[in-house]
Amino acid sequence: MKVVYMGTPDFSVGPLEAILKAGHEVTAVVTQPDRPKGRRGELSPCPVKECALKHGLTVFQPERIKRPEAVEILKTYPADIYVVAAFGQILSAEILHLPRYGCVNIHASLLPKYRGAAPIQWAVINGEEKSGVTIMQMDEGIDTGDILLQREVVLTPEETGGSLFDRLAECGAELITEALSGIGAGTITARPQDENAATHVGMLKKEDGRIDWQKSAAAIERKIRGMDPWPSAYSRLDGKLCKFYRAEVSHDAGTPGEVLSVEKDGFTIGCGEGSLRIRELQIEGKKRMNAGDFLRGYRIEQGMRLE
């Protein structure tokens, strides 16, 4: 099958590799323009572009895929189907109908739950027992198209946004090759989504990582895991930005945001309900470390308050 592949971040690399390994012909890879990174602001390619160049594939980087000139370029790439995975731009109705089999999307949730951006992190933050990947026939809505294939993934008690990201990317790579085979053979039956069960999540912003210590310890602990590695759950300790990466829920009671006790290998902070024993963190200007190492170089005392 001739494929035009659209994707940008790390999540999109595995499916592209899997499509190539399965023997499909990728006639072009469409991805976001190079963006400035680092202190020098030098233009850097995204992970999908790097993967495409490694395989000698044609790369197209439109600033706006819906512009007429971009659509005309798309039309020059032979394609039976477009595969989209975290591309980062909305496709027009014209584009959706260009290839023979239309456009399919690899979405990192069990649709219709968690339509929109950041479904991986929100599944952890909200305490979901399972997530998964959906291969969806794209329409003009946001993640509203018919479901072609789905696969569930059970979350572990230690699941982080990063670990679930990796697991779902691997799952998506396996599922898209199965979907392409089924689409080509005509053996997949699409089914509409249940609109009554639909939920929506927005894109994560850096400020979403701020911890509200009035929340329950269980909710904050899930937030710490869901926000790892980005944007990180954070607060201010002794006036410095402090990111938290691992904590345990405790039933000790105390003032929200106050250090209740300090142990050899960690310290406990009061929450709106229960408390948290901090096990791994990173304070401004220092590297990420376990709480025991942190306490050997930084003085934490009972009664200190976090903003």
pLDDT score at 148: 98
pLDDT score at 37: 82
The residues, ordered by sequence, that sit 6+ positions from 151 with a Cβ below 8 Å of its Cβ are 132, 133, 171, 174, 175
Residues of the chain with CATH 3.10.25.10: 206-297
Note down pLDDT in tens along the chain; length 307 residues. 999 999 999 999 999 999 999 999 999 999 999 999 877 788 999 999 999 999 999 999 999 999 999 999 999 999 999 999 999 999 999 999 999 999 999 999 999 999 999 999 999 999 999 999 999 999 999 999 999 999 999 999 999 999 999 999 999 999 999 999 999 999 999 999 999 999 999 999 999 999 999 999 999 999 999 999 999 999 999 999 999 999 999 999 999 999 999 999 999 999 999 999 999 999 999 999 999 999 999 999 999 999 8
Q: In the 8-state DSSP scheme, what is residue 197?
A: G
CATH 3.40.50.12780 fits 206-297, yes or no: no
pLDDT score at 42: 87
pLDDT score at 41: 81
Superfamily of domain 2-201: Formyl transferase, N-terminal domain (3.40.50.170)
Residues of the chain with CATH 3.40.50.170: 2-201
CB 99 within 8 A of CB 182: no
Q: Which residues pair with 36 in a beta bridge?
A: 43
What are the strands, taking DSSP E only, across the chain? 2-7, 25-30, 35-37, 42-44, 59-60, 81-85, 103-107, 115-116, 130-137, 147-154, 200-201, 233-237, 240-250, 259-263, 266-270, 275-283, 289-290
- CA gap 55, 200 in Å, rounded: 36
pLDDT score at 307: 84
AA letter at 32: Q
